[in-house]
Each structure stands twice: as structure tokens, then as C-alpha cells.
Amino acid sequence: MKPLLEVKNLKKHFPTKGTSLFSRNKDMVKAVDGITFTVKAGETLGLVGESGCGKSTAGRSILKLTEPTEGQLIYKGEDITAFRGERMRKLRQEMQLIFQDPYASLNPRKTIEQIITEPMKIFQMEKAARKQKLDRLLDVVGLSSYHKSRYPHEFSGGQRQRIGIARSLALDPELVICDEPVSALDVSIQAQVINLLEELQEEFKLTYIFIAHDLSVIHHISDRVAVMYLGELVEVGEAAEVYKSPKHPYTQALLSAVPKANPHQEKERIILKGDLPSPANPPKGCKFHTRCPFAEAICRSEKPTMKQVSLTGQMAACHFAKEVVN
């Protein structure tokens, strides 16, 4: 079966501050620097990495909310890379975004009814159908009909995120990019919103790209995981497999920092040296070499390529990960 979405060598580079768009030798921030992955219909792909690794920019580039610098996007077998204007606008019905910040993403001057039905109006849905859809959406996200005349400031953070989710489902999308949808919420509310997203996925047959920096959240919701570092993917695989047996030193370090449910279970914490380097001036060779505890001379000069590291298709980009051939 063909994947729902194929992302091939996607890049998004921004000129650094003070660099003219028209100058020849532009200094570029390589926010996304050549990522390749697929998403199957009905699955959740977790995109994880530290803040500033480029995962949100990747999500927005896939939806073409920011135009990719390079690469190819194939959706349902069709190359949509060159889609612009009306063609892209139509396609956006099928591809939606849930924002990170439920406070900033809702217009404070609009009622909940206006916010949720706005996309339906843009796509000229009949008034009666809009009303019916609104009631249904409020119901499925756990809000009541009387909430529709209220304004965003009258709701808690968790309720606002439910409103944002209802708005993103207004046009019956197939692919939803969830950009850190729970990171601005209290821990007690996070689980409720994650459970809601899982229920909605089941009910509406949704496909998710779930972006987060929290590995516990990603583990809970994802079928497959893609780990991102400085604009590149360093490991991709089935979530259960990556969490049980991470092959890239960066994934190993991230996972070693996740608290274990059993406090008596021993684990060795891998402490990463220094901060994430600037994407405007990334290290040569393996971008992770300045922080990697296993770096050797080759890592400073040669960029590792993705290779298969398990029989089930787990991939990692490290010179020392053992290649496995089916």
C-alpha cells in the first residue's frame, strides 16, 4: 500500500538576520536540512527532538505554511511540491494543524462558534450543515452546546486545546500535524488531551504527525518515531523498537533522561556535553559529534548516512551503528 505522505529530502533554510535575500553569499539557518520519511494512512508518526531542532518548521513546511527551500512532497501518490494558491488551499482541507499554544491560537474577539465554523464558511458549507457539524464537533471533543456562544478567555488551557482540535477537524481532514499540542498544558491535563486525540484518530480515521520534545508523550501516542537533531533525522523506526533498543547515540541519550516507572530499575544516564549548536553554523561531518560521547576522528570529517540497523526496518545515521541487511 502506498504511504499517505512521502517527504523526500525536505529542506527549509532561512537567511540569517542582516543577510539580504538578494546577496550572493547568504548565511543561512538550516532549520530543516534534508529529511526523508513516509507516513502510512492511519498511523501516528512521532517527530521528536530538542527545542530548536527544526521539527516545527518541518511540520509547517509539509503543510506549505512556509514554502520549502528544496525537496519533494508526495501526498496520496501525487507530487504536491509545486502546488500553490487555489490548488494548495483546496488540499489544506485534508491537511490540518493543531497548534502548540491554545492561548495564542484562538482569536479572543470571536466566539467558539465563530472560531470552529470559520473554516467551514471559507469552504462555503451550508448554514444548516455548519450548525450540525459544530454541535457534533463540540460533542466529540467533550464540550457542550452552550459553550458555543462563549469566548476563549472563559475556558481553561485544556478546554481551549479541545476547541483548537475541534477547529482542526472542521473540514474532515485526513492528515493532522499536531505541533506540540500538549506542551503548554498542565501535566494532569496532558493525558486527557492525548487520550482525546487517540479517540478521535480511531473515530475519524486520522493520520497524525505528532511533534513533541517529550519522549514519554511520543512513546505513548506513536506507532513509529523519527528523531531529529539540528535539522536532520538521526533515527527512524517502530516506536516500541526504538524505545527498547535505540541505535543512535543521540536517541540513547534522550531516552536515558526519561524517568523510569520503576525507581529501583537501574539505568545509566548519558549526559550530553554543551548546548545544541547553531543551525546557522552546524558542525561538519556528523552534526552530533560535538556532543557525542562516542565521537571519533571520522565523525568530525564524514557525514554518516542513514542505514538499516534492524530486520524490522529501524534506521540510524551513525558511522558505528551496525548495518543489518534483510
Residues 58-97 that bind ligand SF4 (CB under 6 A): none
Q: Does 229 bind ligand SF4 (CB under 6 A)?
A: no
Please say whether the beta carbons of 217 and 186 come within 8 A: no
Short-list 150, 193, 136, CA closest to 212: 193
Exactly one of 37, 288, 309, 314 binds ligand SF4 (CB under 6 A); which one? 288
Q: Does 249 bind ligand SF4 (CB under 6 A)?
A: yes
From the list 8-16, 129-137, 150-158, 313-321, the region that binds ligand SF4 by CB under 6 A is 313-321
Cα distances from 93 to residues 22, 123, 134, in angstroms, run: 35, 9, 16
Tell me how many residues contact ligand SF4 (CB under 6 A). 13
Exactly one of 141, 292, 306, 309 binds ligand SF4 (CB under 6 A); which one? 292
Q: Which three cell numbers stand for residue 241?
A: 523498537
Strand-pairing partners, residue 228, are 233
CB 315 to ligand SF4: min, Å: 13
Exactly one of 43, 307, 320, 324 binds ligand SF4 (CB under 6 A); which one? 320
Q: Write down the residue that cell numbers 551503528 correspond to.
A: 321
Q: Write down the residue that cell numbers 485526513 correspond to.
A: 174
User: What stretches of the chain show up as alpha helix (H) in DSSP?
Assistant: 55-62, 85-91, 112-122, 127-140, 157-168, 187-204, 215-221, 239-244, 249-256, 297-301
CB 236 to ligand SF4: min, Å: 15
Q: Does 47 bind ligand SF4 (CB under 6 A)?
A: no
Q: Does 294 bind ligand SF4 (CB under 6 A)?
A: yes
For the chain, how far is it from start to end, CA to CA, in angstroms? Answer: 20
Measure the CA–CA gap between 25 and 21, rounded to whole angstroms. Answer: 10
Q: Does 231 bind ligand SF4 (CB under 6 A)?
A: no
Complex with ligand SF4: residue 227 or 292, whichever CB lies closer: 292
CB 292 to ligand SF4: min, Å: 3
Strand-pairing partners, residue 224, are 45, 238
Complex with ligand SF4: residue 151 or 320, whichever CB lies closer: 320
Please say whether the beta carbons of 147 and 153 come within 8 A: no
161's enclosing H/E stretch is helix 157-168
Exactly one of 218, 286, 306, 309 binds ligand SF4 (CB under 6 A); which one? 286
Exactly one of 49, 71, 102, 304 binds ligand SF4 (CB under 6 A); which one? 304
Instruction: Please provide the size of the chain in residues.
Output: 326
Q: Does 134 bind ligand SF4 (CB under 6 A)?
A: no
Report the interface residues with ligand SF4, using CB under 6 A. Answer: 248-249, 286, 288-289, 292, 294-295, 299, 304, 318-320
